[in-house]
Amino acid sequence: MKTMSCRPGCGACCIAPSISGPIPGMPKGKPAGVRCIHLDEDYSCKLYGRPERPEVCVKFQADAETCGDVRTQALERLALLERLTQ
């Protein structure tokens, strides 16, 4: 898989997947399909580049297969991956 830069205004990785560990302000993690509280109005992560950003988020690498060509594809594909890994 070839990694790519995140698309501005996407935020699919901050909505579709669950996060089982604590996130600042979300001590029980985040359920799948729920918008992370750190996703701003422009779909950018307010924790990006900060030390408190969860390791699972730091390790996520956008790629064309996972994220598709547009935001809706990214949401659909990440939601499918979430369901397949439960």
Question: Taking the domains of the chain in order of start, what are their residue ranges?
Answer: 12-84
Using alpha carbons, select from 28, 3, 23, 9 the residue that is nearest to residue 75: 9
Q: Name the band, by pLDDT with cuts 50, 70 and 90, for residue 5.
A: confident
* Residue 42 pLDDT > 90: yes
Phi, psi for residue 38 in degrees, rounded to 5: -95, 5
* 73 contacts 14 by C-beta, under 8 angstroms: no
Average pLDDT in the chain? 93
Supply the pLDDT for residue 1. 64
Using alpha carbons, select from 86, 81, 78, 84 the residue that is nearest to residue 36: 78
Cα distances (Å, whole numbers) of residue 73 to 38, 40, 43, 67, 77: 22, 20, 15, 6, 6
**Alpha carbon distance, N-terminus to C-terminus of the chain:** 23
- Could you give the percent of the chain with pLDDT greater than 90? 91
